[in-house]
Amino acid sequence: MQASFRLTNGENGKENIIYTKIIPGKSWSFRILYFFLIFLVLGLGLCIISMNMVRYFGLQYMTLKESSWLEPCSDNTNSLECWLRPPSNLMHNMNDTELFWRATFAPRIKEYPYKRVPKLAFMFLTRGPLPLSPLWERFFKGNEGLFSIYVHSMPGYRANYSRSSVFYGRQIPSKVTEWGKMTMCDAERRLLANAMLDLSNEYFVLLSEACIPIRNFTIVYRYITKSRYSFLGSYDDRGPYGRGRYDKRMEPEVTLKQWRKGSQWFEINRELAIRIVEDKIYYPKFKEFCKPACYVDEHYFPTMLTIQVPHLLANRSLTYTDWSRGGPHPATYGKKDISKEFFDRIVGRKMCVYNRHLVFLCQLFARKFAPSALEPLMSLPYDVFGY
């Protein structure tokens, strides 16, 4: 601290000495504090602006990149293999509108400029866990590169599979699904669209957590890939549970004569999958006019595809279901039902048409099996299923 003074004339003519104290240290402290506060306010403002810009632009970029929208390639070569690479992370941020649009990208030239091995996409529509997954693991073993797996469960469910499991990381973004309502078909379309993002997937098999394979993978693969037709049940039921569910307000898009019924569980090729995912003509009609006791999952796809491409349908499903007990749900099989003789009866000697020829091999999958059936299923001898 320093002191200075100056002389002034007082009232009495005498000079007065006035001392002024100057404290430069304190003055500079206030200035430094002032500039620090300005810097802090500006810094916080820039941080807030930057965070919002990153949130808006950065997440959009990540969404596009992770979902293989505009920049599926992360390397500098931008090679063909890079563009063919399927999404590594199935949990993308696309909504259904964006997903369906992206999934319907299809090459117009049918001759692929690379060696393409067509894969089967196994799509599981389930509420939560897959209690029969150990049986499926055994079915898939040794056939890597010929299949892919997609699981649509209830939104809050998170699976806990080990990294070595074929089901690890195969859940897709899902929404609430209700039996007999349009949300069921929404989930099926969502499964198809996610599977279609992998260009190697050519055939699509819809399954539930209660389904099992009753033939080995080699037979299943050859049967589906060598077929001229897609397997989706479609028939004209003139009774109360068929035509009786038709609503005349669906005209002119759907007439009573065009109304069809079929199994929910299908095995279709990519051409039909695109038609299902891209549909905006029949979807609004079924959503508005087919509600319980009209069960939309039994009528929407069979009716639409019969109108559009009847020549591509085998008009039957490859999934065995027992409706002999009556009621709105099929028979469920538990631990006590499982035996070699039981499956001999299911497979039987029933004949069906395959590529315009009569054959004895008619079903590749079966349902509906309770979790208690797993242990005896795993204990069956090899010759029952061939795996």
Q: CA-CA distance, 170 to 148, in Å (whole number)? A: 9
Examine the pLDDT at 63 and tell me if it is beyond 70: no
Residue pair 119/148 in contact (Cβ under 8 Å)? The answer is: yes
Rounded to whole angstroms, the Cα distance separating 316 from 263 reads 8
Residue that terminates a domain, selected from 281, 314, 347: 314
Whether 330 is covered by a domain: the verdict is no
Residues 199 and 59 placed together within one structural domain of the fold:
no
Domain region containing 138: 97-314
Residue 73's pLDDT band (cuts 50, 70, 90): low
Cα 38 from chain centroid (whole Å): 51
Q: How far apart are CA 278 and CA 39, in angstroms?
A: 54
Q: Is 138 contained in some domain?
A: yes
**Same structural domain for residues 233 and 107?**
yes
Average pLDDT over residues 45-66: 49
pLDDT at 335 over 60: yes
On whether the CB atoms of residues 126 and 208 are closer than 8 A, the answer is yes
Q: Per-residue pLDDT for 386 more than 80?
A: yes
Length, in residues, of the chain? 387
Q: Please indicate, yes or no, if residue 142 is contained in any of the structural domains.
A: yes
Query: Does position 296 have pLDDT exceeding 70, yes or no?
Result: yes
180/269: higher pLDDT = 269
Say if 199 falls within a structural domain.
yes
Kindly state the average pLDDT of the residues 143-171.
Answer: 95
pLDDT higher than threshold 70 for residue 180: yes
**Same-domain status, 244 and 179:** yes
Q: What angle do CA 64, 66, 68 make, to 5 degrees?
A: 65
Same domain, 224 and 164: yes
Kindly list the distances between the CA atom of residue 232 and the CA atoms of 171, 178, 255, in Å, as whole numbers in the listed order: 24, 21, 20
Provide the number of structural domains found in the chain.
Answer: 2
211: pLDDT strictly greater than 80? yes
Give a yes or no: residue 344 inside a domain: no
Q: How confident is the model at residue 30 (pLDDT cuts 50, 70, 90)?
A: low
- For the cut 90, the answer to whether the pLDDT of residue 295 exceeds it is yes
61/101 same-domain check: no
What is residue 29's predicted lDDT score, i.e. its pLDDT?
64
Contact 262, 305 (CB under 8 A): no
Task: Please name the residues in contact with 385: beta carbons below 8 A apart, sequence gap of 6 or more.
Answer: 139, 213, 214, 215, 216, 343
Same domain, 155 and 278: yes
Q: Which of 284, 314, 344 is the last residue of a domain?
A: 314
pLDDT score for 64: 37
pLDDT at 36 over 70: no
Task: Tell me the pLDDT tens digit for each residue of 82-120.
Answer: 777 777 789 999 999 999 999 998 888 888 888 899 999
Q: Are residues 15 and 143 in the same domain?
A: no
Q: State whether 188 and 244 are in the same domain.
A: yes
If residue 132 lies in a helix (H) or strand (E), which one and from where to where?
none
Q: Tell me: the pLDDT tens digits for 231-277?
A: 999 999 999 999 999 999 999 999 999 999 999 999 999 999 999 99
Q: Which of 21-25, 74-78, 368-372 has the lowest mean pLDDT?
A: 21-25
Average pLDDT over residues 342-369: 92
Torsion of CA 264, 268, 274, 280, to 10 degrees: -30
pLDDT value at residue 364: 97
Mean pLDDT of the chain: 86
- The answer to the question of residue 40 being in a domain is yes
Q: At which of 299, 314, 329 does a domain end?
A: 314
DSSP tag of 87? P
* Residue 259 is assigned to a structural domain of this protein: yes
Mean pLDDT to the nearest integer, 344-364: 91
Q: Cβ(245)–Cβ(293) under 8 Å?
A: yes
Identify the DSSP state of 21.
E
Tell me how far apart the terminal alpha carbons of the chain are, to the nearest angstrom.
95
Quick one: 153 and 19 in the same domain? no
CATH number for 249: 3.90.550
Q: What is the phi-psi region of residue 145: left when phi exceeds 0, alpha when psi lies from -120 to 50, beta otherwise?
A: left
Residue tagged 């409706």 (tokens)? 323
- Give the residue among 136, 154, 294 at the shortest CA–CA distance from 216: 136
Given this model, what pLDDT does residue 107 score? Answer: 85
pLDDT at res. 27: 59
Residues of the chain with pLDDT > 70, as a percent, come to 81
* Per-residue pLDDT, 38: 73
Is 232 domain-assigned? Answer: yes
Binned at pLDDT 50, 70 and 90, residue 35 comes out as low
Measured between alpha carbons, how far is 182 from 188 in angstroms, rounded to an integer?
Answer: 10
Residue 61 has pLDDT above 50, yes or no: no
pLDDT for 21? 47
Question: Pick from 208, 226, 177, 188: which is nearest to 103 by CA?
Answer: 188
Question: Based on the domain organization, do 222 and 133 belong to the same domain?
Answer: yes
Task: Taking residues 159-168, report their average pLDDT.
Answer: 95
Q: Would you state the pLDDT for residue 39?
A: 66
pLDDT at 72 over 60: no
Q: Provide DSSP, 158-198.
A: -----TTSTTTT-B-------TTSHHHHHHHHHHHHHHHTS
Q: Are 167 and 298 in the same domain?
A: yes
What is the DSSP code string of 226-247? T-SSBB---B---STTTGGG--
For residues 149 and 229, state if they share a domain. Answer: yes
What is the mean predicted confidence (pLDDT) over 58-74? 42
Task: Say whether pLDDT at 213 is over 50.
Answer: yes
What's the pTM value of the predicted model, to 2 decimals? Answer: 0.80
Does residue 123 register a pLDDT over 70? yes
CA within 13 Å, CB half, 137: 15
